[in-house]
Amino acid sequence: MTDARIITGNQAAALAARLCDVQVIAAYPITPQSQLAEMLSLYVESGQLRAEYVRVEGEHSAMTVCIGASTVGARVFTATSSNGLLYMHEQLHWAAGSRLPIVMCCVNRGVGAPWSIFNDQQDSLAQRDTGWIQMYCRDNQEILDTIIQAYRIAETVYAPVMVCYDGFVLSHTMMPVVSPTPAAVRKFLPPYKPHTILDSNNPMTINSVLLPNRRPDAEGVLCDGYMEMRYKLQNALNRSPETIREVNRQYAEAFGRDHGGMLWTHRTEDAEVILTSMGSLAAEATVAADALREEGIKAGVVGIRVFRPFPEKKEVVAAYRNAKAIILFEKSVSYGYEGGLCSDLKAAFYGSGINAAIHDHVAGLGGRDVKARELVEAVKSSLARIAEGERELNTTWLNCHTE
Amino acid sequence: MPQNLFKIHEKEYVLPGTRACQGCGLSIAYRFALKALREDTIVTLPACCLCVLHGLYPLTPVLVPSVNNTFASTAASASGIAAGLAALNRTDTTVVAFAGDGGTFDMGLQALSGAAERGTDFIYVAYDNEGYMNTGTQRSSATPMGALTTTTPVLTKQQHKKDFLKIMEAHQIAYIATTTPAYPIDLYDKFVRAKRIKGTRFIHIHTPCPPGWQYPTKDTVRIGRLAVDTGLCVLFEVENGKFRFTGRSRTLAEKGNKLPVVHYVERQGRFKKMSIEQLSQLQNWVDDRWEEYKKKAAESK
């Protein structure tokens, strides 16, 4: 019998962590993640989950505890938002550099200053270059399914995975979610095997200082220098799309739900205008595309599910190949330039023959509501300007007083 | 006072070839600490002099499994290792965090306070060489008044050393001890004792540093002993809230023949710009603490 529940995104995430039999949890409360930290405490204290819960004194320590526990071979979980994620930044690099398969939820929230507790994606976008895989979820079902997939991916490629979902829009909104059985999840997700075992019989110092060049060990065998280790991390992430797609495929086979591998499409086959976004805003874009089609505009959506590693050029080009106009909606900005997704997408098109007009909209910062009809209006306004010959524009700030 | 040297574990866990400086007080301390801790120990350490001692990848002279971590995170790293081991039922392993004074008194304080408050089952060792010696002798909150450092190059350190042991006492942890490589058997005994106790244990090692303190490398033990004789380093243990002097400090407390701090100060180049006023302030600071400790010892009887 199907186990369907009406739950929030945070509850879906907590349920997923429990289904994955996480062994160590370290979390520090921050809005809008708090309910997730609370749910996991309840699971552990009531005996529903056998795990060590370290109630740390800050996010820097939360990630450090995950690093320490993962190093000795425990499956770990944490979650944070906004400034909490920024406070972890140093440790995000350390986790990826240590090649630890940590899974963390980022419940997306705007960052200060000034303070906002509400949703945008500036927090996780600002962690782009830390060596983490970043996956964005559209709804609460996807949060649960993505976390389970994230452990498989992380423990296969030995890189940490950040599962991102929008604060309040998903974290505090109740939706129907189907929960797989613990037995089925255990079958899908084998136990974690650490890449290194810390053992007195084979003592070693992990992550010691490296010189710029390769150096021989005691037997004269040349060992990696810093650059070789960095290259291996880059290589692991570059090659991970194959794993991400395969895990998604196997998950769909086992549980009947396919959320796309690196990206997903909605009515793009004949689409002349393609809307693109990440997370819940991308889901909103599908509603907008359907509405545009009712007005006779051939619209579709490409949702970027995995932002790092960025979907491979071949896949990106195939998804957009018939588009005459591409309209992006981003909940973050790279100050002084444009939305980060827009830059990456343009770079993927370089030399591909795709020469569509591209308009980038920054939307919904600090929780400003974005409605499907506003997306529709924004697309129509962009299309009008493109018809007038404005193929490129400075980033438009949607629904924002810019006078 | 320990009876003899023969009880000390023969095995060496720090082989020749460390990258520590000549005359390094930490080298002596680490050697005896690891002998006391033996196998089934995991060390976690931040970027510090110990990280240098551990050598450059892919070689290390240290025969204990160890993990490097970032500067502010040593105690949290230990918390994570301890939690991971507990989750895997590997509870026979002793988790030891080893950090300098900068990584303890300054940047690591939050993580240490958190781990201690949670009663994390680990030993935290602060080897205190009274400054950022690894980065070239900058001032830390553990630097004593009147010391020249590269960030107090003209006026000397104007403030007293942070009384960190009081901060740890306030956490009411299972075990607190102070020691020095100048009395390696005292140090050894305290690590043996700490290993047998459960919960958070904190060991402070007063660690002479020839380049940072500016004295000849042959004088590390002499300087360390003078620190004890003058009361700048007081050897004690606090277990279950009971304070007791140990070793040389116990003798000094019983006989009342503590030396003036000038005997310690005059042998180190770092104090060459110390004013008479600072010297007197340092003496008062030492005397005040010494009286506090004597009171604690009397109350604990």
- Residue showing tokens 């303190």: B213
Mean pLDDT of chain B: 96
In 3D space, the residue among B131, B113, B226, B248 whose CA is nearest the CA of residue B178 turns out to be: B248
> Does some domain include residue A247?
no
Q: What's the pLDDT tens digit per position in B204-251?
A: 999 999 999 999 999 999 999 999 999 999 999 999 899 999 999 999
Helix (H, G, I), strand (E, B) or coil at A15: helix
Q: What is the DSSP letter of B183?
A: S
Residues A160 and A280 occupy one common structural domain: no
Q: In which band, very low, low, confident or very high, does the pLDDT at B5 lie, cut at 50, 70 and 90?
A: low
- Residues of A within 8 A of B67 (CB-CB) are 68, 71, 198, 205-207
Evaluate the omega torsion of the peptide bond into residue A113 and state whether it is cis, within 30 degrees of 0: yes
Q: Residue B1's pLDDT is what?
A: 44
Contact A68 B69 (CB under 8 A): yes
Mind listing the pLDDT tens digit for each residue in B280-293?
999 999 999 999 99
* Ranges of each domain in chain B: 25-299
- Which residues of B are less than 8 Å from A73 in CB distance? 84, 88
Residue A182: how many other CB atoms lie within 10 Å: 12
- What residues in B contact A218, CB-CB < 8 Å? 59
Element (H, E) at A142: helix A140-157
Distance (Å) from the C-alpha of residue B41 to the closest C-alpha of chain A?
7
For residue A107, being part of any structural domain is answered with: yes
A116 found inside a domain: yes
Residue A55, classed as helix, strand or coil, is coil
Look at residues A188, A213, A230 and tell me which one is the last residue of a structural domain.
Answer: A188
Domain limits at A91? Answer: 3-188
Instruction: Tell me the CA end-to-end span of chain B in Å, nearest whole number.
Output: 18
pLDDT of B2 over the 90 cut? no
* Boundary of a domain, candidates A128, A159, A188: A188
Residue from the list A68, A199, A224 with its beta carbon closest to the beta carbon of B65: A199
CATH superfamily of B25-299: Thiamin diphosphate (ThDP)-binding fold, Pyr/PP domains (3.40.50.970)
List the A357-362 sheet strands across, edge first. A263-266, A299-304, A273-277, A325-330, A357-362, A396-397
Residue A165 belongs to a domain with what CATH number?
A: 3.40.50.970
Last residue of a domain, one of A163, A188, A213: A188
- Paired strand residues for A243: none
Cα–Cα distance, B167 to B179 (Å, whole number): 17
Tell whether A174 and A292 lie within a shared domain: no
Shortest distance between the Cα of A154 and any Cα of chain B, in A, equals: 18
Q: How far is CA B38 from CA A201, A377, B33, B126, in A?
A: 12, 71, 9, 19
Q: Which residues of B touch A66 (CB under 8 A)?
A: 80
Closest Cα in chain B to A87: B72
Ranges of residues in chain A whose predicted pLDDT is under 50: none
**Residue A261 and residue A254: Cα distance in Å, rounded?**
15
For residue B271, the one-letter residue type is F
Q: What is the CATH number of the domain that holds A353?
A: 3.40.50.920
- Read off the pLDDT of residues B156-200 as tens digits, 9 standing for 90 and up: 999 999 999 999 999 999 999 999 999 999 999 999 999 999 999
**In this structure, are A165 and A288 located in the same domain?**
no
> How large a percentage of chain B has pLDDT more than 90?
96
Specify the number of domains making up chain A.
2
A177 and A53 co-located in one domain: yes
Instruction: Give the distance from CA A68 to its chain's centroid.
Output: 23
The pTM assigned to this predicted structure is: 0.97
Do residues B213 and B232 lie in contact, with contact meaning Cβ atoms separated by under 8 Å?
no
Residue whose C-alpha is closest to residue A66's, from A58, A75, A46, A57? A75
In chain A, % helix, strand, coil (3-state, to 5) comes to: 40, 20, 40
Nearest to A71 by CA among B125, B181, B82: B82
- Asked whether residue A305 is domain-assigned, the answer is yes
Q: Do B56 and A209 touch (CB under 8 A)?
A: yes
Q: What is the largest CA-CA distance in chain A?
A: 73
pLDDT digits (tens, 9 = 90+) for A302-332: 999 999 999 999 999 999 999 999 999 999 9
List all residues 6 or more positions away from B42 whose beta carbon is below 8 Å from its beta carbon: A72, A198, B64, B65, B66, B67, B81, B85, B93, B94, B95, B96
